[in-house]
Amino acid sequence: MMNMNMNPFKNMTYKRTLASILAASLIVGASPAAFGFPAMEKAAAATATAVQTYRVVPQPFIIDDYKYSIPTININGSTYIGIRSLNEKLGLDITWNVNSRTITLDGRGRKLTANPEDGSYVINGQKTYGDPALIYKGSAYVPLRFLLERMGYGISYEKGSKTVVINTIEENELTVALGTIQDNNDKQTLLVNYPVIDDLKDKTVEEKINTFLKQEAESYAAAGQKDLTKATATNAAYIKKNPGTTFPKATFEGVFNVTYNEQGRLSLYVDYYSYLGGAHGMTFRVPYTFDLGNGELLTLKEAADYNSKYLSIINASINKQIKERKLPLIAPFDGIKSNRSFYLKHEGIAIAFEQYEYTSYAEGMPEFVTPFEAFE
């Protein structure tokens, strides 16, 4: 188990990412879409082309062992599904708000609201980002994988039969509430969301995890606030020397996503986004995987079931996926090390590249999942 007082990724990740942010802050004059998460930029682009004609095709599905054929749309490699089908086949409660033009999906202890107009989502009170929902010929469509993974379902694809497989995940008995750290004014915005665990049977473990996650959030928020203050002063000085120049608000945000809540383990990550002035902001990801039996953080080797070849297995898996996806690299992938940050998903162990680590900014943070079966 990893000592929860020692996060080996924290200083390394933040300092490396901060260097990229400060370098980016030397550039000015970008389009408005450049000032959000990378997913926001994708959402803006997709929304702008929402008037396009799409091809609606029947897609074979297996949902909890039952076979269906459901209409879908493929957009840039992502499968979109009509929300009516989610209501009928998965039992999610779907509502459409005519006034706000938003879609709300309710079920499995989650409430997710999608706004097709701006590509945003709100899940259990927290704003998050992904490929936008869309309205096409009077029907609402949502990105399948993005949605289901956040609503507590596993999703896979059988290449032979070209069938999408959806399974209802048996989750640990706990709930995840929203904690926030906020400090806003007319020149800068700081909003860090962090998870608060509740309803865990072992209250000692619950308190241990919550204390740790709150301390982590406070630490990153303090570092972000320091950078915001410095950036605001730097931007003000630049504007004074260059009248007429404008900057969006300096921003530091933290958004969390629970990726795995099974088999006595809880895995999640927090995406910290920082915009300090310049062409665009930067995002870095901080993952955590807990053993709910004792509240300790798991190491990568423990997550890989102590397989002595776990690093070579993961590296081979990543290399294979890079080739299969024809992912353009800006630097050769040289393999991960034992202290690499990771998180769990229903299918396996996930490794995400940092921005500019091996790929361009446009690629975001590519994710690579190595199936649990690979370590057996």
Q: What is the pLDDT of residue 4?
A: 60
16, pLDDT greater than 60: no
Confidence of residue 265 (pLDDT cuts 50, 70, 90): very high
How confident is the model at residue 346, as a pLDDT?
94
- Which position has the token pair 């897609």? 59
Q: Give 198-251 pLDDT, tens digit per residue.
A: 999 999 999 999 999 999 999 999 999 999 999 999 988 988 999 988 888 899
| Greater model confidence, 304 or 159 | 304
The residue-averaged pLDDT of 136-154 equals 89
Say if residue 9's pLDDT is above 70: no
According to the model, what pLDDT value does residue 224 have? 97
| Per-residue pLDDT at 69 exceeds 70 | yes
Q: What are the pLDDT digits (tens) for 150-200?
A: 999 999 889 889 999 999 999 999 999 999 999 999 889 999 999 999 999
Comparing 51-65, 83-97, 268-282, 308-322, which segment has the lowest mean pLDDT? 83-97
With a cut of 90, say whether residue 343 has pLDDT above it: yes
Compute the mean pLDDT over every residue in the chain, rounded to the nearest whole number.
86
| pLDDT given for residue 86 in this prediction | 78
Q: Helix/strand/coil (H, E, C) string of the chain?
A: CECCCCCCCHHHHHHHHHHHHHHHCCCCCCCHHHHCCHHHHHHHHHHHCCCCCCCEEEEEEEECCEEEEEEEEEECCEEEEEHHHHHHHHCCEEEEECCCCEEEEEECCEEEEEECCCCEEEECCEEEECCCCEEECCEEEEEHHHHHHHCCEEEEEECCCCEEEEEECCCCCCEEEEEEEEEECCCEEEEEEEEEEECCCCHHHHHHHHHHHHHHHHHHHHHHHHHHHHHHHHHHHHHHHCCCCCCCCEEEEEEEEEEEEECCEEEEEEEEEEECCCCCCEEEEEEEEEECCCCCECCHHHHCCCCCCHHHHHHHHHHHHHHHCCCCCCCCCCCCCCCCCCEECCCEEEEECCCCCCCCHHHCCCEEEEEHHHHC
pLDDT at 58 over 60: yes
pLDDT of residue 117: 83
Check pLDDT > 60 for residue 45: no
By the 8 A CB rule, do 231 and 28 touch?
Answer: no
The confidence score (pLDDT) of residue 248 equals: 86
pLDDT band at 277 (very low <50, low <70, confident <90, very high): confident
Predicted confidence (pLDDT) at residue 7 exceeds the cutoff of 70 = no
- Given a cut of 60, is residue 34 above it in pLDDT? no
pTM: 0.83
Reported confidence tier of residue 33, pLDDT bands at 50, 70, 90: very low
Per-residue confidence (pLDDT) for residue 51, from 0 to 100: 58
